[in-house]
Structure 1
Amino acid sequence: MSGHMWEQVIKYSRHLAEIFGVECVPVNQGDQEQGENKWEPGAICRACEQCNHFGCWGMNAYRKGCEEAYRWDGIYISLCPLGLILITAPLSDETGELVGGIAAGPLCMGNPEDNFQEIYDPVLQRIVSESPCFAPEKIQSMGEIMSAVTGYISGVTHGKAGRYFYKQEHLLNAIYAEKLRKTEDTEYYTYPIALERKLRIAVRSKAVEEAQVLLNQILAYIYVSNCHNLKAIKPRLSELVVVISRAAVDAGADMNETDAMIQMFVNHIHEFESIEELSIWTTNLMQQLIAYTFNFDNVKHADVVYKAVEYIKDNYRRKITVDELAALTYVNKSYLGTIFKKETGSTIPQYINEVRVEKSKLLLLEENLSIVEIASLCGFEGQSYFTKVFREIVGMTPKKYREERGKKRFLIDKGDNL
């Protein structure tokens, strides 16, 4: 991102913060957090870091939001690990490539009490309760304004068309050349299998520019040979993306990730109403597949871990397997285990037990529940295993914890009555 653009992002982030009354953060997709403008967590994030058991991804959560907003028409509204709202709008450079954005939040939505479901620390509850709470319609309006601001700074159209805009001329030239070729060679006008073979080689070799040229030539053939008839073109494109995906897998892309992307393309292809939309999606899909052939350490995976964490928090009462988490996040279980440990510091089984123990602490304050009942309510397969895990994480047995907390409550109540 250029220095001038970064200054603009910082300036408008401050203006938006004044208007909205919430923290608005300038985001740079690179490592640049320049000097005095280095991001410092706001009150909620600082309290969350100190008190919240689940932790957060900090600036990476904002960067991931900008990536998703870039993919989906300029706005992305999501939940932070604490369950509060994040709004992000992307910023593109003069070539249409993502370079950063503006993020707002975390902030509350709806009724204030609805935002406390996963917040147990009283200090954090107080800070969140003192924050403004917005209706869903206003949050959507905030996102629209942020998107308009980043679009103004960029000078580039948001959304799926953004990154394709500057490459459209190359495809049009390829279509024009293909029309000439068809006119000159009407008798032997057949599918360019040699180009497809070269495209597979380019994808396997991770040669992005060469692959783009070859893809344009093949797309041009498909469009011209089918007289720009969308109904006839869509099955041909589906076949082509399968060919590209197989080449990507050969080059090292994860098969589960690749299959998930292809399935998404197939699920959405009926929605496309123009040659331009089809071209955009096919081009972006190929570029993402090529990107997945590189080292997976460089792939943004915070959203995968976030989905797994949210699923665990919602389903801790029952048995959860690594296999079902892998199916949920569309990655293989070995890779999921690796990135989960890297992001959270715990293995998946450890994290599940940590969530269950945190939930059990609240129930242990209820004297009418037995420890056996609490173990069952929190997903443990028996009191003895519950006691073992609880002692490993907390440093004392559930019974001892209940007694210690009971003594503290008694002393507090006694002090209040003096």
Structure 2
Amino acid sequence: MQRETLDSNFLDPNYLEESLGSFHNATGLHIEAINTEGVTFSVPGNFERSEFCRYIRCQPEGEKKCQDSYKRASFEAAKWEEPYFFRCHAGLVIWAVPIMIKGDSLGSIICGQVLMWEPDHFFFQELKKLNIGVQNFEELKNKACKLEVISPARSQAAADMLFVVVNHIVKRNINSLEEIDATRVQQQQIRLEIEDRKKRRLPDLSDYDTYLKKERKFLRYIRLGDRTRANQTLQSLLTDLYTKTVGDLETVKARILELATLTSRAAVEGGANAERIMHLLKEFNKEIEGIERVEKFFYKIQRIVETFLEGIFTLANKKHLAIVKDARDFIMENYALPITVTNVAQHLFISPSHLSRLFREELDCTINDYLTRVRVEQAVEIMKKPEFSVAQVSKAVGFQNQSYFAKVFRKYIGVTPLIYKNSLY
């Protein structure tokens, strides 16, 4: 039997054979996968074709005629993007289910090779006309009598079921292709950032101190639900990790697991549902167990971080999403000023009560809570600069009263500003 292999970048051959094999076992129908030229590339479990089909293919030009029938059927199935019923050149009932990836046809799944009525005198007359070149027509008649006869209703049901199976295989494959594309993009981003650092003559990462400082900044953006800065900092973190570990898989895996855990806690602190975040983290840990490429680790951590951020900032109404996002942006840009709920509402041209309600409903916190969180996070960053006193930090982030700043800081961080500042040096 002539076969061609299928590029595993398009469809996973093992999963294809497993799925089609299950369909065969459930229905008892012959099934095979063909490319756009009508050439078979997979017969699940190597199940043999019917005696009738094997005999036809052994005739002069038989293999070519079968391929031509399959090729025409595959073309029609792709054109209509649904199961296509036809009679092959030898007279059997067959249907083709198209394999479509992003609008392109890879071929079809061929099923059937059956009859829809019991062979009779008229059938044999037609069979003889269709198969003039067959060497021994009586033998062909005997083999035709062994063909399975199924009703039109059963054949339609089988075609519909097969269509569902093929769509499932294709959908799974599209997700894999998107992951491959994203991994390639990840590789390119790392390469471009490394080249950019060399052009700007930035020093290489010599120890984890710089990495950990950047990591703390990243976690701060997560707590604030700042998607843009979080993603930018994450990309820089991954480049640091890649250059520091020289691509060592076990070290990268350990750091990625650690980063995912820290990010999950920051997301919960930012307002995400703790139960959901812990469930996502558990699934993430399972997903990365069998990974053997650094870029795929990076792709997975970017995906889970995006999911965590969505947990912080999940909005059903797009209009509400825009309003709350604009409010957050205004606060991030003006936290050092003595702003109030009224100031934010006036900037957005809506009432303070409406804005407050949206914040409570969508972010599960008040505007003042969010403003305070931003100010404390900014204070933590400024305190890393020894030239600033606690009083100066307090004023720089918008607190007019230093004692109130100390009270709020201790509530969020767990220690007073002075103790925290002294611990840094």
Give the number of the structure with larger relative contact order, counting CA–CA contacts within 8 Å between residues 6 or more apart. 1
Fold shared by both chains (TM-score > 0.5): no
TM-score scaled to structure 2, two decimals?
Answer: 0.35
Q: Rg larger in 1 or in 2?
A: 2
